[in-house]
A and B are shown apart, each in its own frame.
Chain A
């Protein structure tokens, strides 16, 4: 496979080595630098050409946005169109989100695909609560965004009445392209603004659940105590 390297900073246009000799000279220069022979302005220029500085948070967000695991969770008609985003024609794998997880514990993204009835709403909320931080949700289609055409006794008039929703995708049902567009919007949101701010709005700090080893994954004192007691009872 051929690998083409492109310089990151746009101010200094990339010069290709004009000749094999030039290329050889650059190689020598790079070797000098690795040896520690490059100094002063040469070293500065070298570093400026090749190194990009950023924050860890930004790198993490880029990684998160491009490897989202949506939950396998279908409600109604939109679920069929959600399934077709995985199909060969639409292929959501291009954006790194083809791995649908059956367990909410392994998923980052809940796509509410279809009408949410009043009987289903607590279940949806529980699934959302079971997902680990950081998590996002897309409300796909008119029904889960606003109740859609079903303005009656049975359907929740918009899923954002009982859970936070990051992106609303209109349509009845939305085309797979529309869902992918909404998903891209979500990716941009994740890369730009990691915190959608609803925790602060709903005064819900301290309710986050992180995967083991993640930030704030310390078990509660009660859980530690319960675990100790269980071990004791087993005689271990």
Chain B
């Protein structure tokens, strides 16, 4: 009996030779091996430290090689989309933020943008810049968490500490502008909840330097790390055509060489005024995915710098009293404002019947929000096209024929967020 060449990495050797080499038994001693044609079903998860959440994978193994794989989702199904249907339009924002819990600003932008498109509300330029600023900071935060946990999965523990050190600096910015580290509910329909406080810009500029230094540190830890290179290079390669068939977007698609980025293609908010590049890979393996994400963080820093330079003055939320809460100071002087405030807080604003799909580029790919309104103050349907969910479909193509140990790395490189997958 010979093991399949390539499958065990010892092509051509017979089983007895391998056993002899490993166990050092005397030559001529025959060792009985189990026939390996039998497939072993292994259940990974839902409690598994390396699945980045509560994902369950049913893996069929032949020896150590993955022959088939089925992801089973739903372990953090939270019923968010259903809950949204019983909430007024403006009360939905905190719910959608908790879907993909590493890109909360993107979720709220997808939702707020969809509602704004539906009611035709113009967002002031300062608010657009603030949104872009926060979203790019959020992209940094998301990629930092991804990098830390992925490095942890392939055994490089120290990268995690560096990443989380810098991630806390990013969260400080959110805390300063919005008051909370995660799930800030900073974006409102019509703009942002509040202007950034004094000193925020200076801190953001300081942060750019911090992250730049940090990036070179992570690279020095990983780029020439023999183990990391061996575990990522040429592992989990899927070509661009297959990824497009599966609907995969984001860094995964860009690592395979397709420069598809909705920030360029759709040009929402003020992205078409900003100068940044789309990093692409060549091979589409784990290493390219890592390089693309790191390059994306550099591009995000560029965008943040440009936004800080070009941040216009003016209102940070639209002035339409039908949809936006009046400023607090007006409530004690203007009866009209008080009435608007009361109407908005008790019932919420009504939206004319219609439906809209609003896609943006989240750290994981195309994040789209589909909202249907029927003329009442509550949405009929809020559906999210979550990139993690779609990208997870490509895991099977990536993992089949690889070792089970590489499955962990391949899954980590997908950057799936189970909160976004299950919702």
Interface residues of A (CB under 8 A from B): 72-77, 79-81, 83-84, 86-89, 102, 104, 114-115, 117, 119-120, 123, 127, 149-155, 172-173, 175
User: B77 — which chain A residues lie within 8 A by C-beta?
Assistant: 117, 119, 154
Given contacts A73-B47, A155-B79, contact A87 B183 (CB under 8 A): no
B77, B78, B95: residue with the most chain A Cβ atoms closer than 10 Å: B78
Task: Give the distance to chain A from B81, nearest Cβ to Cβ, in Å.
Answer: 10
Selected from A83, A115, A119, the residue in CB contact (under 8 A) with B74 is A119
- B47 and A77 contact, CB distance less than 8 A: no
- A89 and B165 contact, CB distance less than 8 A: yes
- B54 and A120 contact, CB distance less than 8 A: yes
User: A87 — which chain B residues lie within 8 A by C-beta?
Assistant: 160-161, 164-165, 167-168
Q: How far is the CA of A4 from the CA of B75 in the complex (A)?
A: 53
User: A117 — which chain B residues lie within 8 A by C-beta?
Assistant: 74-78, 422
Given contacts A84-B168, A88-B164, contact A119 B75 (CB under 8 A): yes
The 5 A-B residue pairs with the shortest CB-CB distance, nearest first, are A87-B164, A154-B79, A77-B101, A152-B79, A102-B49
- Judge whether B94 is part of the interface by a CB distance below 8 angstroms: yes
- Judge whether B181 is part of the interface by a CB distance below 8 angstroms: yes
User: B82 — which chain A residues lie within 8 A by C-beta?
Assistant: 152-154
Task: Give the distance to chain A from B141, nearest Cβ to Cβ, in Å.
Answer: 10
CB nearest neighbor in B for A124: B47
- B78 and A74 contact, CB distance less than 8 A: no
Q: How far is the CA of A88 from the CA of B83 in the complex (A)?
A: 37
CB nearest neighbor in B for A74: B53
User: B98 — which chain A residues lie within 8 A by C-beta?
Assistant: 76-77, 149
**What is the size category of the interface that chain B forms with chain A?**
20 to 34
- B167 and A72 contact, CB distance less than 8 A: no
Q: How far is the CA of A172 from the CA of B98 in the complex (A)?
A: 10
Contacts beyond the supplied A76-B419, A88-B164: 17 A-B pairs with Cβ under 8 Å: A73-B47, A75-B53, A76-B101, A76-B418, A77-B419, A81-B181, A83-B145, A84-B167, A87-B165, A89-B165, A115-B76, A117-B422, A120-B75, A123-B54, A154-B78, A155-B78, A175-B181
User: B49 — which chain A residues lie within 8 A by C-beta?
Assistant: 72, 102
Within 8 A of A (CB), among B51-87: 53-54, 74-80, 82-83
User: A80 — which chain B residues lie within 8 A by C-beta?
Assistant: 101-102, 145, 182
User: B181 — which chain A residues lie within 8 A by C-beta?
Assistant: 81, 173, 175
Task: Give the distance to chain B from A67, nearest Cβ to Cβ, in Å.
Answer: 20
User: A102 — which chain B residues lie within 8 A by C-beta?
Assistant: 49
Task: Give the distance to chain B from A17, nearest Cβ to Cβ, in Å.
Answer: 44
- B182 and A83 contact, CB distance less than 8 A: no
User: B259 — which chain A residues lie within 8 A by C-beta?
Assistant: none
User: A175 — which chain B residues lie within 8 A by C-beta?
Assistant: 181
- A149 and B95 contact, CB distance less than 8 A: yes
- Judge whether B46 is part of the interface by a CB distance below 8 angstroms: yes
Contact with A along B142-159 (1 / 0, CB 8 A): 000100010000000000
CB nearest neighbor in B for A83: B164
User: A153 — which chain B residues lie within 8 A by C-beta?
Assistant: 79, 82
